[in-house]
Amino acid sequence: MAGVRQFDEDRTLDLALNVFWQKGLSATSMQDLAQATGVLRGSLYNAYQGKEQLFLKVFDRYRQRMTGHMAAALADPSIKVALEGFFDFIITSMTEGTPTRGCLTTKTAVDGISEVETIRTALQGMLDDIEALLQTRFVLEEQNATLNLTASEASRLVSTFTRGVVVMERVYQDEARLRSTAASMVKVLIRP
């Protein structure tokens, strides 16, 4: 039937996410996506108009899921527990699987494809979302005088720190090291 997708879009997007996450956006071909999803290349082109548009659709779902989990962790009333949960989620997410998968956002940012404006805008949106979630949480702590920094400074620092954690995971692939470093960041942020 013309105009009606003949495949399970949720399943297809989840499988495409895995391909982009494993190979990176630049190295992924439409043939890779067709093989992984079981959907013909022509059907993928008809549905998404190309690899970048499919990536943007996949990345939007990824962004919503990731920020949803981050927001849930940051909702804990204890700032220490909230930050520990936030870092635990991030570290667990990128160290899952064999080989570990790292972070889709950072992998795409350093892939060279981030020069494409729509891709760069999507990446900026994800990082802005993370910073906004942290800012919202830290404003409460700023009012309680529990932070060593302003809410704005702390949110930017933690957002930037998460990108460094991603790079360290790629280089060392040492989850214990990441967790220890994240625990140090919590100590830096919160007044004793």
The pLDDT score that the predictor gives to residue 1 is 45
The pLDDT score that the predictor gives to residue 88 is 98
> In this structure, which CATH number among 1.10.357.10, 2.160.10.10, 3.40.50.300, 1.20.1090.10 belongs to the domain 59-189?
1.10.357.10
Please check the confidence at residue 82 and state whether its pLDDT lies above 70: yes
Rounded Cα gap, residues 78 and 82, in angstroms: 6
- Return mean pLDDT, the chain: 94
Please check the confidence at residue 23 and state whether its pLDDT lies above 60: yes
Outline where the chain has alpha helix (H).
Answer: 9-23, 30-37, 41-48, 51-74, 79-95, 104-109, 117-143, 151-172, 175-189
The pLDDT score that the predictor gives to residue 5 is 64
Q: Angle at Cα 22 formed by Cα 74 and Cα 167, nearest 5°? A: 55
Nearest to 120 by CA among 180, 59, 71, 181: 59
Cross-strand partners of 188: none
Rounded Cα gap, residues 56 and 168, in angstroms: 26
Please check the confidence at residue 43 and state whether its pLDDT lies above 50: yes
Higher pLDDT, 7 or 149: 149
Please check the confidence at residue 79 and state whether its pLDDT lies above 80: yes
Model confidence band, residue 22 (pLDDT cutoffs 50, 70, 90): very high
The pLDDT score that the predictor gives to residue 21 is 93
Higher pLDDT, 31 or 99: 31
pTM greater than 0.85: yes
- Asked if residues 71 and 90 have their Cβ atoms less than 8 Å apart, the reply is no
